[in-house]
Copies of this chain bind each other. A is one copy, B any other.
Amino acid sequence: QGPGGHAGNHGGAGNSDTSSANSSSGTHGGHANFRGGGEVDHARNGFDPHEILRDFDWGRTRRLPSGRVLREWTLVAGDQDIEVAPGVTFPAWSYNGRIPGPTLRCREGERLRIRFENLSQHPHTIHFHGIHTAEMDGVPGIGAGEIAPGSSTVYEFDAEPAGLHLYHCHVRPLAEHIAKGMYGAFIVDPKEGREDADEMVMVMNGFDTNFDRANELYAANTIPFAYMNRPIAVRRNELVRVYIVNILEYDLINSFHLHGNFFDYFPTGTSLRPSELTDTVMLCQGQRGIAEWRFPSPGKYMFHAHQSEFTELGWQGFFEVG
């Protein structure tokens, strides 16, 4: 089958491959088509959404005299042009040269130390969602406050509570410092651990490429259609665990919808009991949750926002079950 018998005006819809999404630019919708013109140069960007997906940064650890684990990372802020869609360059601000920044991962109860160096031309901070003192909160005017270009600071606190959290810059204008790309996932594993799984992180974001405070591009892990162009390979019957964080700026909500399957959902990841068995969850900025499921059957299964606009502008992908 296909649209061959259709005499309508659907543009490139004759393409039988799903990756022709959004090809009917101008005809039915009102948005430009960022697909079809090749792929983003991940090497030049310095990061690849497929690597970010399963890249958990455990930092370096050593024992404190008390016997407790001290876990340390260094995060460096920088100014960086990235190709967010084929031929579309965005003047980003990033942590460690990637968007989203590194997925910081640790275990409940450890002592965490994050050295922050600002090599950007703009003042920045790291604000963590989590429990910590005011001095370590990464907001302007308190503790180290805004970290000037060329300056650095150290954030230190305990890893609590167990769950899925996030970090982001808190310098004003807030919308700009977030929309520019300064955020990442922060995972605190519960003491008892979680069941073995094929784990992934998806930071749902978007880009305002023309600076009108509205997004032209949407994605999980920055690059629109990255997981459509190359599906995420997973194994049948293996537990899949996706750490979902919404940091999308300008749009009031975002969502995650899985095709053909249902997942247990753990909002904020703070409880070991799921709140719901569903296929669609909605999050505002700063919300996050853990989704767990197994694919009983092989094949390609879509996942995407259940906001058609976000989907069509890049926030969609495939799991390919082998």
Contacts and interface: CB of A to CB of B under 8 A. Distances in A.
A235 interface: no
A301 interface: yes
A140 B132 CA distance: 48
Contacts of A232: none
Interface string A168-182: 000111111010000
Given A13-B123, A142-B299, A277 B307 contact: no
A181 to B, nearest CB: 14
Q: How many identical subunits does the complex contain?
A: 3
A150 B3 CA distance: 10
A286 B136 CA distance: 35
A2 B163 CA distance: 32
The 6 closest A-B pairs by CB, nearest first: A134-B299, A18-B141, A286-B306, A175-B308, A5-B148, A3-B123
B173 A312 contact: yes
Contacts of A6: 121-123, 148-149
A87 interface: no
Interface in A132-151: 132-137, 139-142, 144-151
Interface stretch (A53-61, A70-78, A99-107, A251-259): A251-259
A163 B173 CA distance: 37
B141 A297 contact: no
Nearest to A179: B308
A66 interface: no
Contacts of A282: 253, 282-284, 287
Interface of A: 1-8, 10, 13, 16-24, 28-30, 121-123, 127, 129-137, 139-142, 144-151, 153, 161, 163, 165, 171-176, 178, 213, 249, 251-253, 255, 257, 259-262, 267-268, 270-271, 275-280, 282-287, 296-302, 306-309, 311-312, 321
Contact of A133 (B18, B144, B147, B297): B297
A257 B286 contact: yes
A134 B231 CA distance: 14
B297 A284 contact: no
A159 B285 CA distance: 34
A280 B286 contact: yes
Contacts of A149: 5-6
Contact of A175 (B129, B163, B312): B312
A307 B280 contact: no
B161 A277 contact: yes
20 contacts: A8-B122, A13-B171, A18-B142, A22-B173, A29-B176, A129-B279, A134-B297, A134-B299, A134-B300, A135-B299, A139-B259, A163-B277, A253-B282, A253-B284, A255-B284, A262-B270, A267-B278, A268-B277, A268-B280, A284-B306
Nearest to A253: B252
A1 B302 contact: no
